[in-house]
Amino acid sequence: MNRPLTGKVAIVTGGSKGIGRAIVLKLSGLGAEVIINYAGDSDSAEGLARTVIDNGDKAHVIRADVSKVEEIEKLFQTTVARCGQLDILINNAGAARYKAIADFTEEEFDKLFDLNVKGLFFCCREAARLMADNGCIINIGSTVTRVMLPAYGAYAATKGAVEQITKVLAKELGARAIRVNTLSPGPVDTELFRVGKTDEQIRQLAGLAAFGRIGTPEDIADMVALLVDTQSGWVTGQNILANGGFAA
């Protein structure tokens, strides 16, 4: 079995559920030693770690609220202390709030930006300081920055920021051969995506994709695997849309 990530250490933020869970299983199956980061649901994180270990692969669970800088610092320091290195970072942790801009509160805005932008930014900072040369950072963005969907204003703003952070960091880390890319899913069938949506709304969104369906977490994990592979070594500073031809 081809295991190209053997000897590599990866952090997946928000790694216990949904897209994060699929990424953990994909990277560990390719040989990486994976840090499963979570903020609240220890049962899901520990259960996933057991699954990885039962598969004969390596996983560790580290709790950290990545909207808080001090907890981000601890996450990265613990990873390096425990595993000896850091080669891959998948900035997957995030939240969504679907609400008209006119109805948004300052508290809702701050909470969304604290996790989606501030948290990702400082995870990137720690990776820039601690990651081994020839590493790989993937920031999970969203196709919503390419369309005009009502009630997505604040969420789309956070993901637009992610894209710009990616571009700048790719330049800053290029001399160390660390690749930094944004991977932007379209609608993906996760618990987070389904919040506040009816089955009819989900069917309508599926109809906007060329393939006529919404994505799966495994679709996104497969793209992560492509981007961390050395055959993608000439790809950095890009926003890769993984959305099944979604257009609104």
Catalytic residues: 155
Which pLDDT score is estimated for 247? Answer: 86
Domains of the chain plus CATH, in order, are 9-240 (3.40.50.720)
Which pLDDT score is estimated for 2? Answer: 81
Helices within the chain (DSSP H only): 18-29, 42-54, 69-83, 106-113, 120-130, 153-173, 191-194, 199-206, 217-228
Q: Do the Cβ atoms of 117 and 162 come closer than 8 Å?
A: yes
Which pLDDT score is estimated for 193? Answer: 86
Which pLDDT score is estimated for 208? Answer: 93
Q: Which two tokens stand for residue 15?
A: 């790694």
Which pLDDT score is estimated for 196? Answer: 81
What is the rounded distance in angstroms from the CA atom of residue 125 to the CA atom of residue 128? 5
- CA–CA distances in Å: residue 17 to residues 3, 13, 28, 165, 239: 23, 10, 15, 25, 23
* Rounded average pLDDT per 10-residue block, the chain, 248 residues: 93 98 98 97 97 98 98 98 98 95 98 98 98 98 94 97 98 98 96 87 94 97 98 98 92
What is the rounded distance in angstroms from the CA atom of residue 231 to the CA atom of residue 11? 21
Half-sphere exposure of 32 (CA within 13 A, CB side): 28
pTM above 0.85, yes or no: yes
Q: Do the Cβ atoms of 185 and 220 come closer than 8 Å?
A: yes
Which pLDDT score is estimated for 217? Answer: 98
